[in-house]
A and B are shown apart, each in its own frame.
Chain A
Amino acid sequence: MTKPPAAILKLPHWAFLVLTGACAWGIPGAGHWLIGERKRAAIIFISLVFAFTVGIYIGSIAAIELKSPWFYAQILFSPVVAYIAHLSGAVYHLDSFGRPREIGEIYTGIAGMMNLLCIVNAVYMAHCKRKSV
């Protein structure tokens, strides 16, 4: 295992946990990368970006809509989702219906919920690692 770069950062414990969570939300897998879990980070990043990309390919970016309840799951993927929702709604006025939209929402929503699992896991691992040092 590589030495965690976060060890160089002399942050208080709580700030390090917040930073890990924020990184994990910003870019899927970045939280694990920060605590030195490079393999996990790469697996999480590739898998979740794949699921999200397939989702918006099938349902188009119109599958991400601010008013939809699915948005609460989708936004867990990354803050970039809010920008995509703004593009599809306010800028391009896109819409999609039926089966492609459903599948797009399911893919992107599950990618978001799986990222929540990764955020919690990254923060927990960061907490355990700091305690053991």
Chain B
Amino acid sequence: MINMIYILANFMSPVHIGTTPKSFLLALPLIAVIAIVYKATKMEKIELVSFVRETFLLFGSILVFMVLAAVGIFIFMKLTVG
């Protein structure tokens, strides 16, 4: 019972997250969830190997395009703002 109260208490106050480059890693679980749920709704049949492969492909492509967008914005900002 006491353990349960401690677990629930974790949801009453926010955790500390600094504005560091490492905080971008928090996007990874969310991208994984988006890829898994999207593929779970779109695939005709759910089979382990094909599902994992398709999910990894989507996860990778989202990640690559996010990195490309970040690099593009960084270059744009360097050229315009300096």
Decide yes or no whether A6 CB sits under 8 A from chain B.
no
Q: In the complex, which residues 95-133 of chain A have their Cβ closer than 8 Å to any Cβ of chain B?
A: 96, 99-101, 103-104, 106-107, 110-111, 114, 117-118, 121
Q: Is the CB of A40 within 8 A of B17?
A: no
Q: Is the CB of A61 within 8 A of B12?
A: yes
Decide yes or no whether B10 CB sits under 8 A from chain A.
yes
Q: Is the CB of A60 within 8 A of B11?
A: yes
Give the number of residues in B that approach A within 8 Å (Cβ atoms): 22
Q: Is the CB of A99 within 8 A of B17?
A: yes
Interface residues on A, range: 20 to 34
Chain B interface residues toward A at CB < 8 A:
10-19, 23, 26, 29-30, 33-34, 36-38, 40-41, 46
Chain A interface residues toward B at CB < 8 A:
39-40, 43-44, 47-48, 50-51, 54, 56-63, 92, 94, 96, 99-101, 103-104, 106-107, 110-111, 114, 117-118, 121
Chosen A-B contacts, 19 in total, with CB atoms closer than 8 Å, are A40-B40, A43-B37, A43-B40, A48-B33, A51-B29, A51-B30, A56-B11, A57-B10, A58-B14, A60-B11, A61-B12, A62-B14, A92-B12, A99-B18, A103-B23, A114-B33, A114-B37, A114-B38, A117-B41
